[in-house]
Structure 1
Amino acid sequence: MMSRILRSCLAGAFAVLVAVAAISAPRPAAAAANVDPAWWNGEIARAEADADRLATIMRSKGTFSVGTLLNEVDVDIHSCHILSIMLGKDHLTPLLVAQPDPPQPDDEPGFAEGVESNSRSNWAHLARTYLAESDIERIRAWNLDCVGKFGITGRDHIREDSRRALVEVDGEAIRVLGNVEKGFYEELKAAIEENPGAKKIQLGSAGGSVGDAVKAGRYIRQRGLATELYNNCQSACSLVFLGGADRTIWSPYPELGFHRIASGGRAIPDDSDVYGQVRDYAFELGVDGNFVVAAMMKAGVKEMHHPFMDDLCAANVATWVQRTCFGTPPKGSEDAAPAPAQPAAEPSPPLQAELPPAENAAAAPGESGDTGLCADIRAQRQRLAAGNSRVAEALDATGTGYDAGSMVEIYDAMLRDHGC
């Protein structure tokens, strides 16, 4: 996350608020009502005024931009800071005040003020966003994005009265926030059918039913919709994410989480056919199924493995990560194909989340058709050939020296190699 690189955040058991003269972070009064709009609007206005003032100071010193890499500075810790107040976690609020990085000798004049201006502006935007959301949306954002970070332990997880996913429509986006429980697929399918203008599914979930996740992912791909991360996306949610024709992760980089599949709270055997079904499902969608299963194996049932963004691109789990990388479809050759599963020593226990048989499944790796690996390679090539600005930005960020033209040639070769 951005804060790991750019900020030193307070994450111990205790913290002291440090006054930092002209560029101290917003500090709401402890006695304020948790979601009083008048109070929050006042704090938002003050943060925006501070942002404008700091930007003016930056420009007066001859610096006019701190670069796009710092656009989302402090977004992660600000989110938790705001939610801690709105959800009554006052004992944690002091730990969640973003602290400016110490100035560096090679900083441009006004750079520190510019960074803090961005930070204040981000705080105001997030506060306005969370103020407009429902309490259950705030709780789910807290549980997904804050618990386990910045010194926030599981004791501060907030119990949800309902585990059902919230499905909301926002213009061309259908936002899904909550657990992938039984019935999730039908709810998502209904939302997509009722909103034919939707182009993308935004996800945030702690996981749930593997079966519903796979059905949802296949349906998303069948409809040609994109997927994006709105909050952290864990467990079965990651399988839903794979369904996107384009799979995007924006800065400040919500996490994709993987862990072992469970039945009745206990991990199923590593040689269970279910993992083979997950592997096949991923390959159907043009994703490296071996990588997906290996990522699952790296964490126990009550743990979570979060792969690096570069690795998600290399396995084509993500087709584009802002300022980081874009996906590369896996090889469809024998060396990339999943190895046959060895027979289990004993029958696998029945899975509540057993993967369903494919319905209108996409073509397997190496096969031609409108879906599957060939379609994924064609889609990537088309984005390169069309001069997609996001792809160009990602190429520049890699520092490899490749441009869109040379990458188109590589993708043409891949299409030939796979008989597409």
Structure 2
Amino acid sequence: MAVVHGGRPVQAVRWITEDGEEKIIVQIRWVDAHGVDHLVWDGTMPAFVEAGRATGAGAVTAPTVSAGQRLAIPVVGSADGEVLDVTVSAGARLGVPVAAGSGAVAVPVVSGGARIAMPHITGSGLVRAPLAGEFTDSDVNVPMVTGEGEVYAPTVQVPVDLEITAASGVGEVLIPVVRAGGAAVVPVVTGSGSVSVPVVTAGQSITVPPAAGSGLVRVPVVAVPAAVSVPIVTGSGVVNVPVVKNGESYTDLFNRASLGSDWGVYSPLPVISGSTKMQAGSLSFGQQALCTPTYAQALTSNNQSVSITLAAPTGTLNTNGGCVFGGYLRATGAADSGTMVAFQAYGSTAVIASKSGATFTQRATNTLGSAVTSGDVFEFRAVSNGYTLYRNGLVACSWLDSGNLMAVGSSNLRGGAIVMSAYNANTSYQLQYSMAIDEFTLKDI
């Protein structure tokens, strides 16, 4: 005979006699017809005990979830069950019911792009151990206590992408509505415009704005799986070609044997030494030569620049002011009766001067931080009625012609260079030269 309690063997069985006397049975034996004693039970063989059922219930209110949110459903429908102590006599069966819980979750509505997480819904139960006999020392196995929950499938709206291209011009397109699965393409709407012809002189810049109008595109309405085709609305635009006269720029590196036809007008003319640089020519004793050659090509604007890069002359360099070098702008290109504005330099001195006919008039002077040397770059700029001299990018001297003494206009578009030589001019009976010019540039700015 098998005697178990909760799937585990009981260790003792209680038996009450006819006289009401309670006895504890620790072994059960059986003697067969041949007198053989069989051990049926000794506390180590299993006996079965059943536990009664305990249940509970729970409910959760439907949540509302917006697009882009995350929903977490807490544990729902847990149940607690309790079974009181049970006294089991020998041979009895005790059933402990399963303690279970149940719950229901209403259907949530989730918008497109949202995420919902449904956790497991569980329950719990408590079953007290039944007493199998007064001296029972055993365990009762209580089955797993679980709960049940039901979650309905959420309704998710399908996201829709609507792309409206750039629209310009005068036009109107009605608003279509796009639903799930639909698509609408709105073409470019252009308009018309016109720009008058600007006239731009050299050295200036012009910005022509785009010829555009205005447009209104409303949101299209498209039902699945329909498509909306919006026709192209076009216009016309005309932009007249602006007249732009490019600025001029001329450079001479003097990498030839003679001056040639690129220079002229004023005499005496300089020479090219060693096919690398311009300088004044050699003289007889007691003579001096101020060479102011004019470049053959004219500029096109009133704002002008002339720059020179210095080189040591072939011969003795004059340092006491007897020989100057430089450049000039806004010249008429005529003989000595013409006008110009020039810069001159020697040693550590820089001068701005105007010339009318054969006469130079000093307008501004400044002492340089150091004596001029081979490789220095001097640039002279004329902008409006202001004149500025730069040495290696730094301002060396300036003059504002506030009285508009010097002519500006279409007759003053020439420029050139200045070099000089002298024999016994403030020297000790020597032929001396100003700095030579290694590179010359004349341009509009």
Provide the TM-score with structure 1 as the length reference. Answer: 0.25
More strand by share: 2
Question: Bigger radius of gyration, 1 or 2?
Answer: 2
Provide the TM-score with structure 2 as the length reference. Answer: 0.24
More helix by share: 1
